[in-house]
Amino acid sequence: MTDTPIRGDATSRAPRPTAGGWLNRLDRKRGAGPFLPGHHLPAAGPSTTAVHAGTHDDARTGAVGTPIYQASTFLLNADQYGSIEEGFARDRFIYSRYGNPSQWAVQEKLAALEGAESAIVFASGMAAITATVMALVDKGAHVVASADLYGGTWNLFNQEFPTFGMSATLVDPQDFAAIEAAIRPETQLMYFEAITNPLLKIIDIPRLAEIARRHGLRLVIDATFAPPIAMRALEQGADVVVHSASKYLNGHSDLIAGVAAGPRKLIDMIWPRLLNYGGSLDPHACFLLERGLKTLAIRMRAHEESAHALARYLQGHPKVRRVFYPLLDSHPDREVARRLLKNGTGNVTFFVESDQAALQLVGALRIPKQATSLGGVESLVSLPFNTSQASYTARQRAAIGIHPGCVRLSVGIEDAADLIADFEQALAQISPAKEATHA
């Protein structure tokens, strides 16, 4: 721990001198949660945690598993009225935008998986990102963030921030001297992604955390590409971790959701932004997310097995120029990956001869579906030049390493042999072949 005051948090050192300011007293003692009562899972392995944490059998009917509480409002009594008056409404059921039993159940599972005191689910990943960032900065704030950002986050910092009199400096996430040089007196937050898209750089979160602590900054990590089976960003030094839960956490390409997890103190600060921005997650979507999370550990093992095998195959193919997969010895960040990752993911990025060859390839594939997103049980393939980085010029793409022929692949849980056979026939249909390297 450090005695450096946290920038942008005037109340982090002492309570505000206001009557009844329970929520504002950031140094008050907080318990974990809020979670549903009566079911606390002892310390357990990742698969057991994924299945059982936060899951509540229905006491009234005996149904196995958490019911869907499809309700917008709840009965009020003196306890609820008091919670509103004294500022702890987050810990009571009042109205589903404030909290719902379905939300609390899946939040408990997410918090357990991340090793967090508390978690909040949102209606999208961008809702989680926006609420988290805006809760942790103040008027005139400056943020140091990665230059390799998800497009929606890039838009938040470059389009929305200026309208609030705020600013952001985007830097190479692996240039720690540049990161430190970008910090200004008005800097209040550092924001980075655990694994970047599409080049799969593995970011050294402990080094970022050391910089943040030394300068009195908070560190937010978007770990969408590195779910808690692969990495617990909070254990690496992040203050808050956010995810697009639409991806690996849910794993079935059938809902949009987001999550923020971390210390109860900080999640309590983020919760009012959820209320103000209205990004609450519907109870049925909470049920689907909790169901998807139950298989997270076994899905991640299957993603790694198939992706690693396919990456090795692609690396040896004469029509593939280069392959990025964190568990390959050829990956430039392999040593950081060994230190931080406990499980691989399904993300593989590789390069063929040209964008035209890449178009031929994805058109010839039979198993992977051409679609954006990632982390589902089915393999998805897309080309950054006409999807995620389509708004960039060719020069801008090249500047961040996205050269012609870049293919982004999210490997599902299909059998590796089937995927390899599919890529074998698809690669045979493109030309020209990569020139042989001569000694």
Active site amino acids: 97, 150, 222, 247
Q: Are strands 347-351 and 322-324 parallel, antiparallel or unpaired?
A: antiparallel
Widest CA span in the chain: 81
Smallest CA-to-CA distance from 351 within 389, 313, 393, 408 is with 408
Which helix (H) or strand (E) segment is 187 a member of? strand 187-193
* Tokens encoding 179: 């990161």
CA dihedral angle for residue 380, residue 381, residue 384, residue 385, rounded to 10 degrees: -140
The edge-to-edge listing of strands for the beta sheet with 240-244 is 118-122, 258-262, 240-244, 218-222, 187-193, 142-146, 167-171
The rounded distance, in Å, linking the Cα atoms of 146 and 368 is 30
Q: How far is CA 255 from CA 247, 259, 275, 347, in A?
A: 9, 13, 21, 20
- Residue 97 CB-density burial (10 A; 0-12 exposed, 13-18 middle, 19+ buried): middle
Question: Which residue type is seen at 131?
Answer: A
